[in-house]
Every structure is written in C-alpha cells, then in structure tokens.
Chains A and B, each alone.
Chain A
Amino acid sequence: MTPFEANPRAAEVEAFLARTPFAQKLGMRCDIRGDEMTAILPFSKKLIGNFTIKALHGGAISSFLELTAMAQVFLVTDLARPPKTINLTIDYLRQGHAKDLYARAYITKMGRRMASVRAEAWQEEKSKPVTALMAHFMVGGD
C-alpha cells in the first residue's frame, strides 16, 4: 500500500509543499506514514547563518518548523487551504550543525477555529532537539 492509499490527504500535503515557492527554496521534503509525518530539511550551504561555526541559520530552522507544523495541521484536517499562522514561539535549544535536519509536529489541541501545535527539530538524536516551536493556527472561519 502506498502512503497515499493509507491517507489520501498525504498527496495534498505533498502538493502544498511542491507548489509553495518558499518551501522549495528551503528544499524541504516530507515522509508521510498514515497520520504521522516526518519533515526533512537536507543540508545546503545557503542555510548557514554563521560561517565561522558552520551553524544553520535560526530563521531557516524556524521557517522549516513553521511549515512542518502547518503541513501537519493540513494533513489531519479536511481544510481546503493550508492554515494561517496566528503566532509562534521558538526556543533555540542547541546549535544546528551543517547536517540534515528532521522535524515532527504534534497537535496539542484542535479547536473549531484555532489549532495549537508543538513541533521539534533534531539532527543525530531525536531526544536532543535543536529547536522547539509552539504555534497557533487559524483552522476555520476567519
């Protein structure tokens, strides 16, 4: 069974990322298994924020996490369009090294109008997150 048969929304999430210019600029991909999605940001030189310590730019990491959280909401709802971000808080926990970055988002609460989402990005070990995000999205009637 392909991921798309398991969850028809998977194709829509992939289409959303494919037609969003900024997601393409970052170069992010996603791996969807049922209602679980792992987003992948392959390392690229342009994502560096500090050359001397070869660290990923915080802005690139947070853009990636915001898109991951957005895509997760889109995956588990029947929204016609991706949700709009109301606000977000980012904690930079560890330095992002010059390597691929992975992320997963968890929906804390799905309301009728708003969704509360938490997301984490990691590199070698999932238990040692590089960055954590907490965000609110509009999911209906705005």
Chain B
Amino acid sequence: MEYWFQRILLILKHSSILLFCTGIHCALAEQVDNAPTTPEKNINIDTEYFDVGVFTGILNIEDFNSELVTGINMTFNANEDFFIQFNYLEADASLSSFELSQGRLFAGNDRKFTHFDFLLGYNLFLGEHFMSDTNTRLSSMYLVAGVGDTEFGGEESFTYTLGLGYQVALQRNILVRIDFRDYIYKTNIIGENNSTHNTQLSAGVSFLF
C-alpha cells in the first residue's frame, strides 16, 4: 500500500479526539449548507447533545500515594437512558512510603499517571431537584462502565473502568458532576501481574451545547 496513505493515517491517529469536534463542527455546517429536501424551509432546531467539561479530584493509586487528579471529558447523550463519555486525566505520583524507605521504583515521566477511557453510561435515576428556590433543576444518577488505557510506571495497560456519579444542571447549560471511578488494570510494577484497583473521587463542571 502506498506510503502516502500510511502517513495520512498516522497523522490522523494523534488527533482522534479531533474527530469528535470536527463532527460537531461539520454537523452544524451540514445543517446550514445542506438544505433538507422539502423546498420551503431551511430549519435549524437547536440541539443539545454534547457536553464538554473539566474535573478534578483525588486518585488513590494502589500501593502508592493519593494524588490530585485533573482531567477533561466529553459526553454524548445518545438518548435519555444512555450516553457515551470520553475521559482523559493526569496525576503526578509522588514518592510512596515504601519508596521513601526502599528507594524509588521509577522516575521522570514514568511517575505520571495518565489515563483515558471510553465509557458507556446509564442514567439509573433521572430526577428534578430544587435548591432552595422554586426552580427545578434536572439531575440524574448514573452508572458508567468502559475500557481504556493507563500509563504509569513505564507500563501501558488495558484498563477497565467502573463508576457511579451524580449530575445536576445548575443552569440550563451548566452541569455539575460528582463522580466515583474505579480503574482496574494489571500491573507488574510491584509483584507479578497484580490486578489493581485505583479509585477516584472527583467533582467537575461541564458545559452543554
């Protein structure tokens, strides 16, 4: 196969998230440029499918310290019950108690815990809640499960993610989320093929558009 084709694919490989954004951009362009078949109207109904957000919290890395984690996510609401979410997060692992006494196990870039995943979410409870005034806020409690990739300690591991979370729409477009996640993967940093559970408690804000 031609080299040029390979090169194009390699370039596109690093901009995978880009396709989500390009999709949104083009979808909106499509709505304006491609007039629907009925000749009399060119209708754009405002859509609210995607939300993009940031989150921060605490990550308990198994056998290591708890660290501050920051990340971004993008969610597509497929229907009232299901959504697909992409998460990317980072944390810097400081020296654990064991490493302080026995010597560090790895250094430099290996000390960065990076993880991304694709999750399927299920809205278990949809709700309407009030703060103190009479305005109703839409909310939901959801479960998530999915797969992804974790890089830590010089290893790159296939990761399962399970989680639970709660979101409230503070304003029509602004969502606040509280999440619990468990990242499960096998590691060889300490011990042989150890299945680790790394839990995270985080809070985040998303913008719905």
A, B: real partners: no
Task: Give the B-binding residues of A (Cβ under 8 A).
Answer: none
